[in-house]
Amino acid sequence: MAIGSAFRSYKNTADVLKQAKRSYLDFNATAPLREQARAAALAAFECVGNPSSIHAEGRAARAIVEEARAAVAALAGVSPRGVVFTASGTEAANLVLTPAISTAHGAPPPARLIVSAGEHVCISKGHRFAPGLVEVAPLRGDGRVDLDALAAMLRRGGRAMLALQGANNETGIVQPVAEAAALAHAAGGLVVCDAVQLAGRMSCKASELGADFLILSAHKLGGPKGVGALVAASPEIAVAEPLLRGGGQERGARAGTENVAGIAGFGAAARAALAEMADEARRLGRLRDRLGAQISSVAPDAVVFGATVERLPNTLCFAIPGIRAETLVIALDLAGIAVSSGAACSSGKVARSPVLEAMRIEPDIAAGAIRLSLGWSSGEAEVAHFGEALAGIVFRTARGRVAA
């Protein structure tokens, strides 16, 4: 498709969506751009300088980058020197998950990698360890990592790097990162926490999580797509072999001229998310519980995954027996509601979720898993819209079964 045709197609689709009654319930895939982030990015586009240049224009661009770096550092509770900007959370994962880590006090680099069975694919596949040096820590039936099994794994073999997400992108289940980190550090290991879903919804401060590194992504908290960050709790711990080599930007950790506008938007979104986080967690938790009540009222046999453990306040993952995920996603989309049947990175094909498989969910139930995720622009109208649409879909499905 030619560029002009592609743009016209995009514009026509965008116009249709604006005119239609649409409810967006897929924040864990990507959040709508916050107005603060939009304003910051647009202002940065007007800055002509290269952040590496020493003239006035270059210094102005550098100031934008460093202001954003400070905002992201505040969100993670670290020094700005610990923040390395990347093009995505995926790139940050590929950058840090490597034996080539320069550790403080001359400690040896990690000899192996342990990942939980519920990790995002950018963690489970986005590493630079040889296949034989990667181990998978199992999940319990409630979706949390099995700490007893993890402790046993840490006692075996050489020094380990542990990769454990802060919260699962599909189920919203919050992992016991601090407890797992204590086990890993007691065994002399390093801890990497994928905090992409945690950021802006719950605290993602490295000191509270006990993580040596955090992975963040701007577009999950209302910033632009195409910018992320690798955050080190201590600047003394660094990646010795960067993925991208060149001009030495980001203190040698990531070469290439910085995405000034994207980084500016990231910083603005981080500031807004941090300022609103406590109030938003309470507000979104109430909306999530309303969604859960609506599901139970029209489908009493519905299964909510992770209902017995702590979850993100914005996330609800459920299945209605007898209704497949692809059927419900399409029906809701036709009703004007955007939801997901799993990680957006796996869209285009509906397959059984590895996360639900690791939780030992029955295949027939897992095949119907739907994720609802809320965010800064969500409100009562979207919740009511979903409830009305779901009731109609369940009614039509039941009527169709009786007729058959």
> What distance in Å separates the CA atoms of residue 163 and residue 147, rounded to the nearest whole number?
13
What is the residue-averaged pLDDT of the chain? 91
Query: Which is higher by pLDDT, 7 or 67?
Result: 67
What is the pLDDT confidence band of residue 399, given thresholds at 50, 70 and 90? low
Sign of the dihedral defined by the CA atoms of residues 172, 177, 179, 184, in that order: positive
State which fold the 36-270 domain adopts: Aspartate Aminotransferase; domain 2 (3.40.640)
| pLDDT at residue 84 is higher than 80 | yes
Q: pLDDT digit string (tens) for 352-364?
A: 789 999 999 999 9
Which CATH number applies to 21-33+278-396? 3.90.1150.10
Q: Which of 122, 204, 317, 345 is catalytic?
A: 345
Q: pLDDT digit string (tens) for 355-389?
A: 999 999 999 999 999 999 999 999 999 999 999 99
| pLDDT at residue 16 is higher than 70 | no
What DSSP designation does 145 have? B
pLDDT for 401 equals 59
| pLDDT at residue 215 is higher than 70 | yes
Lowest mean pLDDT among 175-189, 227-241, 255-269, 375-389: 227-241
> What distance in Å separates the CA atoms of residue 142 and residue 199, rounded to the nearest whole number?
22
Q: Where are the domains of the chain?
A: 21-33+278-396, 36-270
Lowest mean pLDDT among 157-166, 288-297, 370-379, 394-403: 394-403
State the Cα angle at 210 between 120 and 165, rounded to 5°.
10
> What distance in Å separates the CA atoms of residue 89 and residue 224, rounded to the nearest whole number?
12
What is the pLDDT confidence band of residue 14, given thresholds at 50, 70 and 90? very low
What is the pLDDT confidence band of residue 398, given thresholds at 50, 70 and 90? confident
Q: Is the pTM of this model over 0.85?
A: yes
The span from the first CA to the last CA of the chain, in angstroms, equals 43
Mean pLDDT of 119-139: 95
Please, are residues 37 and 224 in contact by the beta-carbon 8 Å criterion?
yes
Please say if 345 is a catalytic residue: yes
Q: pLDDT digit string (tens) for 271-326?
A: 999 999 999 999 999 999 999 999 999 999 999 999 999 999 999 999 999 999 99
What is the pLDDT confidence band of residue 402, given thresholds at 50, 70 and 90? very low
Q: Are 21-33+278-396 and 36-270 the same fold in CATH?
A: no
Q: Taking each helix axis from N to C terminus, what angle separates 35-45 and 260-298, rounded to the nearest 10 degrees?
A: 160
H helices of 34-109, where? 35-45, 56-76, 89-96
397-402 long-range Cβ contacts below 8 angstroms, 24+ apart: 397/322, 397/323, 401/322
pLDDT for 404 equals 42
Residues contacting residue 235 through CB under 8 Å, at least 6 positions apart: 79, 81, 82
Sign of the dihedral defined by the CA atoms of residues 385, 285, 192, 240, in that order: positive
| pLDDT at residue 70 is higher than 60 | yes
| pLDDT at residue 4 is higher than 70 | no
pLDDT for 347 equals 47
> What distance in Å separates the CA atoms of residue 48 and residue 58, rounded to the nearest whole number?
8
34-37 long-range Cβ contacts below 8 angstroms, 24+ apart: 34/222, 34/223, 34/268, 34/269, 34/272, 34/376, 36/222, 36/268, 36/269, 36/271, 36/272, 37/218, 37/222, 37/223, 37/224, 37/265, 37/266, 37/268, 37/269, 37/272
